[in-house]
Amino acid sequence: MGIISRDQAEILLQDKPTGSFLVRVSERIWGYTVSYVVGDGTFKHFLVERIPEGYQFLGTNQVVHDQLFDLISYHETAPITAKGGEILKWSVGQMFRPPDYHDIVPDTAFPQMNRLVGRF
């Protein structure tokens, strides 16, 4: 996670299997984006909306989650969109250490984050 451009995200995700993803801070808008590998070798970029009740993907009929971590965990089994059927399967880590997700995740979630912020 971190400020990563769309192009940089696609470089990190290239040659990764369908379902690979990363969470990044968008360089264009204020907020988070989930970049995702689609089955045909292309990518999708989903904007995450922060609302008073929590986090959700931008769009209609989205489930609201208390924390960003909860949103990611939920979409490990529930598709982001009904049409695309995108399931978050494998997280792709950052190119540089240490990871900077500590700023957005509560201390109690660090053990769970280890499985979400994996490396290939």
> What is the pLDDT, as a whole number, of residue 120?
34
Residue ranges of the chain whose pLDDT lies below 70: 1-2, 94-120
Q: Where are the domains of the chain?
A: 6-93
CA 120 to CA 29: how far, in whole Å? 28
Domain at 6-93, CATH homologous superfamily = SH2 domain (3.30.505.10)
Contact assessment for residue 12 and residue 22, using Cβ atoms and an 8 Å cutoff = yes
> What is the pLDDT, as a whole number, of residue 29?
81
Cβ partners under 8 Å of residue 89, min gap 6 = 17, 18, 19, 20, 21, 76
> What is the pLDDT, as a whole number, of residue 42?
95
Name the pTM for this structure: 0.79
